[in-house]
Structure 1
């Protein structure tokens, strides 16, 4: 398995122990070549140079592959995407009996962009033009796949209206357009694969998601309620002069278990803040890791108390932010309580029956909030 190890000469930097960081850590992230992997690597490199912390990045192309190491304590932090929301909600892959709502917390997460891209020379100019075309999906990755389905819903389409091509990894799906294996794929605007397509003879085109199309947005939010309209100016084939109307969400999010020690969470977000000047130029979107942006709601999981303590000290955390966090915690607590009831009621039942029980318990829990 590919990995990156980041280290610094201990004699030239303050010790990780003095900072409150572990001497060594493992982080999980998306595939090599993804925006999440590049950003995790840049931040890890800064931690290593300033504090001597040795960080190993463990990449995975699937949501479960990124989250499992965090849950099993083989990784301290996951640089995750929307699987964070799915895991805390107990939906999609995480509605299975072995999962359910997971007790996760966020340290910080920058605003990100997500869109559908095609080759500039293939004649696909609008989302509705995807009907009958090959659209890339990723095996075992609801974080990507649900977003792709949301785009189709915006145009009044579904998977059955396109030729859904499933690739084994996120990286393979992102590369598929350039390789002629698909006609369109869904991703963020800054991975290496989209820049490679932009610089190829094919060129790149991002399909427009008009913010004023109320009916389209209603269909989209029925599939993916965490999205917001975004006029993006950073990315492959995108600039201030050539912006793209696509979608905003949080990615990557630094996600930890709820039982991470408060002082460790505090040390991580403090290090993220204090090393900002060292990693802010690593990619065009790294300035979005400033804590007044990345350390505020809304985000896919409640913020960790240790992170909140530091954000309060910096004057970033407000009463409105705390209310959001309290409400998000209440939702997560209610869902975890509903899951406990489902496990009792569903014992010995088939997977199909178990799923119906969970759907009912989940709906009741949310209605009671």
Structure 2
């Protein structure tokens, strides 16, 4: 069941106001929705909760958030029709390519769409005494990775490619948890890692004898960005002024990825997605102060490429109406959709030809084939 809710005017004053102003159009929002997100305590959960609270206040929509610590756990309810939207991390990109956890026979490239996603900065962050001032300087240095966390590790691989490096050019030190990897520089167990600039362990590093340094990813380094995007084509240049140990008034030049990415299925009604992103826009003032980073949900930032998935047609319709979506954005979206379609077709062909493979053998063979397919893309 849906409830018709009028936007822009209080219900009690609508009749009188309608005689003085142009007609106000009704927008339909569901009575209830289910969203998935990262675990309770995560930034994704906090932001989903703030937006859900704003939707409830303005539209009366009751939203239940299902938290999960795994990308699969956040995606399955969406794909099974038990959730309307998912607040995802980089698994949004991985599932579109059938990569890592999604390279198994029962997954593969999946036809999902983005609604919006706020930018989050990331770069190679090092101990200041490690002598790493450019990405290329990381050659031979100890770089902290996280066991079983491709979302973090692939971003670091892409950032290393900005400096012309591969994993073979650095000493990869793998830590069992994200927290231990982030704290490893302070303990002098690594020289650098790739993460967001406000991770709590970085404040400890900044205050430690080693100090902290943000390796710049300059926007005008075309060769560097070409190398980065070849590994992970979902990032763009970013300037961050809030970072652990960064002096007030200084800017750190980083890459922006999107987290969380509000995701739904390609089959979701364009009218429903249009209503959702319009509600996201019109409730901005109610949730923008919910966390330190929620001001980045303005559609001028969260409704623009690059992002993990193609944008949904319903979202694009609203972004065009707002004057946010450009011809350049359209070209990006078409290219991103073509990549997804290519991966879906390649998966179907590969699966039919490799019915005898199972488990890890299947995943390894597909990942090798996936690399070949990606090499053919423009």
Q: Specify the TM-score bucket, using the shorter chain as the normaliser.
A: 0.7 to 0.9
2:63 to 44, 50, 54: 54
1:133-152 per-residue CA deviation (whole Å, 9 max, x = no partner) reads 55332333222111112233
1:257 aligned residue: 265
Instruction: Give the Cα–Cα distance (whole angstroms) in 2 for the partners of residues 181 and 368 of structure 1.
Output: 39
1:123-175 per-residue CA deviation (whole Å, 9 max, x = no partner) reads 4543456556553323332221111122333445444531422334x455445
1:84 aligned residue: 92
Segment of structure 1 superposing worse, 293-302 or 198-207 = 198-207
2:299 aligned residue: 291
1:23-55 per-residue CA deviation (whole Å, 9 max, x = no partner) reads 24232126734x434433332332333334233
Contact kept in structure 2, 1:342 and 1:358, CA below 8 Å = no
Aligned pairs, number: 351
Contact kept in structure 2, 1:339 and 1:362, CA below 8 Å = no
1:25 and 2:34 aligned: yes
1:137 and 2:145 aligned: yes
1:8 aligned residue: none
1:349 and 2:367 aligned: no
Instruction: Give the Cα–Cα distance (whole angstroms) in 2 for the partners of residues 216 and 266 of structure 1.
Output: 36
2:107 to 81, 84, 99: 99
Instruction: Give the Cα–Cα distance (whole angstroms) in 2 for the partners of residues 208 and 320 of structure 1.
Output: 26
Instruction: Give the Cα–Cα distance (whole angstroms) in 1 for the partners of residues 154 and 59 of structure 2.
Output: 39
1:292 is paired with a residue whose SS is helix
Instruction: Give the Cα–Cα distance (whole angstroms) in 2 for the partners of residues 50 and 116 of structure 1.
Output: 41
2:264 is paired with a residue whose SS is strand
Q: 1:104 to 1:283 in 2, by over 3 A?
A: same
Instruction: Give the Cα–Cα distance (whole angstroms) in 2 for the partners of residues 44 and 201 of structure 1.
Output: 43
Could you tell me the TM-score, scaled by structure 1's length? 0.78
- Cα RMSD for the two superposed structures: 3.7
1:275 aligned residue: 283
2:30 is paired with a residue whose SS is coil
Report how far residue 210 of structure 1 moved. Answer: 4.2
Contact kept in structure 2, 1:63 and 1:142, CA below 8 Å = no
Segment of structure 1 superposing worse, 43-52 or 94-103 = 43-52
1:6 aligned residue: none
Report how far residue 273 of structure 1 moved. Answer: 0.7
Contact kept in structure 1, 2:39 and 2:68, CA below 8 Å = yes
Instruction: Give the Cα–Cα distance (whole angstroms) in 2 for the partners of residues 255 and 278 of structure 1.
Output: 22
Could you tell me the TM-score, scaled by structure 2's length? 0.76
Instruction: Give the Cα–Cα distance (whole angstroms) in 1 for the partners of residues 334 and 226 of structure 2.
Output: 27
Structure 1 residues without counterparts, runs of 5 or longer: 1-12
1:314 aligned residue: 322
1:42 aligned residue: 50
1:248 and 2:256 aligned: yes
2:57 is paired with a residue whose SS is helix
Q: 1:133 to 1:37 in 2, by over 3 A?
A: farther
Report how far residue 341 of structure 1 moved. Answer: 1.6
1:9 aligned residue: none
1:7 aligned residue: none
Instruction: Give the Cα–Cα distance (whole angstroms) in 1 for the partners of residues 229 and 303 of structure 2.
Output: 24
1:20 is paired with a residue whose SS is strand
Q: 1:311 to 1:180 in 2, by over 3 A?
A: same
1:303 aligned residue: 311
Report how far residue 357 of structure 1 moved. Answer: 6.4
Instruction: Give the Cα–Cα distance (whole angstroms) in 2 for the partners of residues 366 and 162 of structure 1.
Output: 26
Contact kept in structure 2, 1:64 and 1:140, CA below 8 Å = no
Instruction: Give the Cα–Cα distance (whole angstroms) in 2 for the partners of residues 270 and 352 of structure 1.
Output: 45
Instruction: Give the Cα–Cα distance (whole angstroms) in 2 for the partners of residues 178 and 77 of structure 1.
Output: 38
Written as runs of structure 1 = structure 2, the 5 A alignment for 1:192-207 is: 192-195=200-203, 197-198=205-206, 204-207=212-215
Contact kept in structure 2, 1:21 and 1:268, CA below 8 Å = no
Q: 1:154 to 1:358 in 2, by over 3 A?
A: closer
